[in-house]
Amino acid sequence: MTSAAQTSARQASGKYDLVIKNGRVIDPVLGFGREAHVFIKDGKIVKVDVDSASVRREMKALDSNQIIDASDKLVVPGLVDIHVHLREPGHENKETVKSGCRAAAAGGFTSICCMPNTTPRIDNQETVKFVQDRAKNADAHVFVVGAVTKGQKGEELAEIGDLVNMGTVAISDDGSYVQNAEVMRRALEYSRMFNIPVMQHAEDRLLSEGGTMNESFESTRLGLRGSPSVAEEIAVLRDIALCRFTGGRVHIQHISTRGAVEAVRQAKKEGVNVTAEATPHHLILTDKEIGKEFNTNLRVNPPLRSEDDREAVIEGLVDGTIDCIASDHAPHSAEEKDCEFDQAPPGMIGLETTLGLVKTYLIDKGYLSWGDALRKMTANPARILKIPVGTLGEGTMADITIIDPEKKWTVKADKFLSRSSNSPFIGRRLTCQVYKTILEGRVVYER
């Protein structure tokens, strides 16, 4: 018997496959926030134990390669990103399901939701199945979001029942807004039957037509066509009204304006079934960045807003109006971005920088505690999607992220595992890096 075979035989028969010891375990669901040890068997969490003496005894039966020492590290539920573009099928030059999952693992995400604006659109069972097949044995769980309407054209409802039957967890026409209020009303009513949220890219196209950046003095100064904040605010207000009327459930994607945040805040107070997400770039950057060098990696939709909007999004995140932090990971090739600002496709990658940005710009600046931040990247998105992840509870899948919270690093274009490197944060010095990412008990990423 080779030693590897011996090890695997011993593991198969042993009480545990893997133990993560001495880490500071934070699970917003369980309420943990102290040193503990996580025991894993058959890809599931057996227990989270705070008794170090018993851990020492139990570990004697384990091989050294079955023990991860997480001293000075945070051990948290695998992160969940509710908004990711994997680009496959159709745009494999930008990203594939596999490469996107590798990027997710490198960023500490074990569960990601992929948006349906691929080519063809994910508006039918076959395409859902295709993506799910691609995601088999990938480095993250992929939850598919189906289209609201056929071809994402905003006209006829997609076969939402079929999509849900295939495992779709939500529907969205992301990239475009369901402009027709009647269609949106029917989508909210119909999706109620399956208890899934309609995720909305809230942007009234009639108001934002041709806009390439936020409409503000910056767009005025630069002569770039502006997309007004009121296009988002009106879209959000309409959807809240439709939710109230239909009893449906809407999730506002990448919220970016003060007016929209305030609308969601009031709607929640009133009991309307609305949730919202915000991206790191809308929490950190403003439209003032664009004029510095017309960096096309700053072109994104919704656009980077004013400082006042940025502050409002942070306030919404802090007071719970905004439920999730989502990357809106949107890969584009270097060739596509190497052009005139207003010709560049909108979008930026984010899976590999989100955690570092959240720590550096939200936790270290005192806006969020680790517990609050993690809740918005684990339990909250899992709750909205009703998926059984985002916690370290006994018997759940052993999706775990081990974080080196004070590790300093610099974002570099050539270090991304994503196929694309269109990040506006290249060159930034961040604090906090993923140490290991564990998917169903298997280490899928380690530094």
Partner 1 sequence: MSRLSSRHLLGLEGVPRGDIETIFKTADTFREVLDRTIKKVPTLRGITVVNLFYEPSTRTRISFELAEKRLSADTVSFSPSTSSVRKGESLRDTLQNIEAMKIDMVVVRHTSPGVPYFLTRFSDANIINAGDGSHEHPTQALLDMYTIYKKYGKLDGLRVLLIGDVKHSRVIRSNIWGLKTMGASVALCGPATLLPYEVEQFGCDVYTNLHKALEGVDVVNVMRIQLERQQLGMFPSQREYTKLFGVNKEKLKQLKRNYTIMHPGPINRGVEITSDVADGNKSVILDQVTNGQAVRMAVLYLLRSKDDERGIL
Residues that bind partner 1 (CB under 8 A): 215-217, 219-224, 226, 228, 293-294, 335, 338-343
Q: Which of 309, 328, 399, 404 is catalytic?
A: 328
Dist CA 339 CA 247 (whole Å):
45
Report, in Å, the least distance between residue 418 CB and partner 1: 22
Report, in Å, the least distance between residue 333 CB and partner 1: 12
* Residue indicated by tokens 């996580």: 38
Report, in Å, the least distance between residue 307 CB and partner 1: 13
User: For residues 412 and 51, is the Cβ–Cβ distance under 8 A?
Assistant: no
61 vs 334, beta carbon nearer partner 1:
334
Q: Strands 67-69, 44-49: parallel, antiparallel or unpaired by DSSP?
A: unpaired
Report, in Å, the least distance between residue 262 CB and partner 1: 20
- CA-based end-to-end distance of the chain: 31
Report the run of H or E that residue 255 belongs to, with start and end: none
Distance of CA 341 to the CA centre of its chain: 26
Of 197, 206, 141, residue with least CA distance to 177: 206
**Alpha carbons within 13 A on the beta-carbon side of 328:** 27
220 vs 410, beta carbon nearer partner 1:
220
What values do phi and psi take at 408, rounded to 5? -95, 140
Of 440, 435, 443, 441, residue with least CA distance to 107: 435
User: For residues 271 and 265, is the Cβ–Cβ distance under 8 A?
Assistant: no
What values do phi and psi take at 207, rounded to 5? -85, -30
107 vs 228, beta carbon nearer partner 1:
228
Report, in Å, the least distance between residue 18 CB and partner 1: 49
Report the run of H or E that residue 278 belongs to, with start and end: strand 274-278
Active site annotation includes 328? yes
User: For residues 64 and 80, is the Cβ–Cβ distance under 8 A?
Assistant: no
182 vs 340, beta carbon nearer partner 1:
340
Report, in Å, the least distance between residue 347 CB and partner 1: 18
User: For residues 312 and 278, is the Cβ–Cβ distance under 8 A?
Assistant: no
165 vs 343, beta carbon nearer partner 1:
343
Report, in Å, the least distance between residue 212 CB and partner 1: 9
72 vs 308, beta carbon nearer partner 1:
308
Report, in Å, the least distance between residue 356 CB and partner 1: 27
* Residue indicated by tokens 């409409």: 215
145 vs 222, beta carbon nearer partner 1:
222
Torsion of CA 376, 381, 382, 383, to 10 degrees: 90
Cis geometry, peptide bond prior to residue 381 (ω within 30 degrees of 0) = no
* Residue indicated by tokens 């995720």: 199
User: For residues 244 and 272, is the Cβ–Cβ distance under 8 A?
Assistant: yes
Instruction: Give the angle subtended at the CA of 75 by the CAs of 434 and 59, to the nearest 5°.
Output: 115
342 vs 372, beta carbon nearer partner 1:
342
Residues, the chain: 447
Catalytic residue IDs: 328
